[in-house]
Amino acid sequence: MAEQQAPDVKLPDPVELSRAMTRIAEQSQKLVTDFLARQAADGKTTAANPDPMGIGHAFLEMTARMMADPAKLMKAQMTLWQDYLTLWQRTTQRLLGQEAAPVISPAKDDRRFKDSAWDENTLFDFIKQSYLLSARWMQSTVSEVEGLPDQTAKKVDFYTRQFVDAMAPSNFVMTNPEVLRTTIETGGENLVKGLEHLLKDLERGKGELRISMTDYDAFQVGKNIAVTPGKVVFQNDLIQLLQYTPTTPDVAKRPLMIVPPWINKFYILDLREKNSYIKWAVDQGHTVFVLSWVNPDERLAKKSFEDYMIEGPLAALDQIKIATGEDSVNAVGYCLGGTLLAATLAYMAAKGDERIASATFFTTMLDFAEAGELSVFIDEEQLNYIEGKMSERGYLDGSEMATTFNMLRANDLIWSFVVNNYLLGKDPFPFDLLYWNSDSTRMPAAMHSFYLRNMYQKNLLQQPGGVTLAGVPIDLRNVKTPAYFLSAREDHIAPWKSTYAGTQLFSGPVKFVLAASGHIAGVINPPSAGKYCYWTNEALPKDPEAWLKDTAQAPGSWWTDWQAWVSQYSEGTVPARDPSNGGLPALDEAPGSYVKARLV
């Protein structure tokens, strides 16, 4: 029998390793020194207020409530010990060569444990199950504490999950089989390269960790993303108005105006030709106008929510009339852009303005009573903290908004990149969606404070007269404009049951459609992809579950359903309109300059 050869293992070159570690140590020392100096200068925490967001206080309150019921706590501890005892017994069975069913298994979509060693190797299977049992125990114990105020309970539950996600064995070298295997195979080069990635990200964030999600050099706005041809035909302090070049000989008489969110950039609707909603709408024969929001700095600190209405959709309506001669448009609002569109419709209803003939809302919340996990960040302590930071510089930094959204899906948007970039030492994969996700925007202080307090905290938009814009108390119930609501079933930013509540506020005809997938993939789903499905129901009962129960499911993209709906309001066709020789001067090529301003 031939002697089995040991696999080749690449041993590290001691000279190269020494040089690399020396370089990393020198760079680390400088970065850490600079970071500590900035922290001290910024005064992010002080002796007088070491917990400005009230997280520690929430956990203290939770602990006090938990200790008040020792019998319940003891029962939870016993349950955990019983689970561990079962795990030890079954692990012993496996070590003796016997079959043993797992005590607990990860969710089917949990990609942290996709490596086969997590199941095939008894030790790693034990580590995996130990973590899952502890995570389940911790989260269930915290969630079952009674007597906590709702906001405190949400905060404790959310940050407990952040801790649980951070402590996953997949996030550490010695307990991740793929990382261990790679370390042996490369002689530790993966960890050296991972340290270099880490330091590069710290340097890019000026001392704060900005995890690279993609190859940022692989994309350039206007070059290989956001490339649908068109012109900038108008500009003010807050928007550049883009008009796109037609691709059909005739177009719908009534133009289409798209109001994207300004928390992100509009080109999520125009990433590449094959998945561009803007390009697809142009190809369906729409004269498409898009508001491209400015990336504001301290000079726009006093711009308010009503300024965004006046200088955004209302200004765009005036210019679209000049460009096309049309008195009305079909409008689309996405997320926060949809919230602004609805508020604008209510303002216009109060003024007798009927220039929006139909309105489409993508993943838009109008009633914020059940705002999902984003409401975790909306209590008085945290709002005061955010407003304090905004008052210092006039805006909320885009990176802080990005971190908030990433925390909602920490395993996918934080820890997977920690493992890939820092532990495995791999370069991030070029991915246009993640490039867009990292292309942060700032929020003007006055606007953002108004939005957080009046919508998220006080839920005033859904109350008649609860919000006043430009001196006009608005009421969504006075909106009679036909409306199409599109929500996504797995949306973690605008939960579909929360967005469904908006259908109960308008007085005109409303259609609600539910797409599969989440906040982005549920919306950006071109028919050519043949992916997912959507649900429709002509009835609109108050209870969203009752609506879902009686829905009809259709395969593929909802885009075709929307096109059939909006065509009712097209007013026939006219010869195609070229922005190069329309009623407005062409100031620049699309996508314009506002969208190209990057923070990092």
269 in Cβ contact with 436 (< 8 Å): no
221 in Cβ contact with 597 (< 8 Å): no
Q: Identify the CA nearest to 508 among candidates 370, 367, 346.
A: 346
Q: Give CA–CA dist 229/349, Å, rounded.
A: 34
Helices (H), 462-584: 496-500, 544-549, 559-566
3-class state of residue 484 by DSSP: strand
Q: Give CA–CA dist 279/524, Å, rounded.
A: 12
DSSP-assigned letters across all residues of 32-54: HHHHHHHHHHHT-S-SS-S-TT-
Q: Which residue has the tokens 């309105």?
A: 359
Q: How many CB atoms lie within 10 A of CB 19?
A: 12
Q: Identify the CA nearest to 340 among candidates 383, 310, 384.
A: 310
β-bridge partners, 443: 396
Known active-site residue 533: no
Quick check: bond before 591 cis, omega within 30? Answer: yes
Taken in order 34, 162, 165, 400, the sign of the CA dihedral is negative
20, 53, 191, 335: which is the annotated catalytic residue?
335
Q: Is 42 exposed, middle or buried (0-12, 13-18, 19+ CB in 10 A)?
A: exposed
Q: Give CA–CA dist 228/8, Å, rounded.
A: 51
- Distances in whole angstroms, Cα of residue 432 to Cα of each of 114, 170, 275, 435: 24, 26, 11, 5
C-alpha R_g of the chain: 27
Write out the catalytic residue numbers.
335
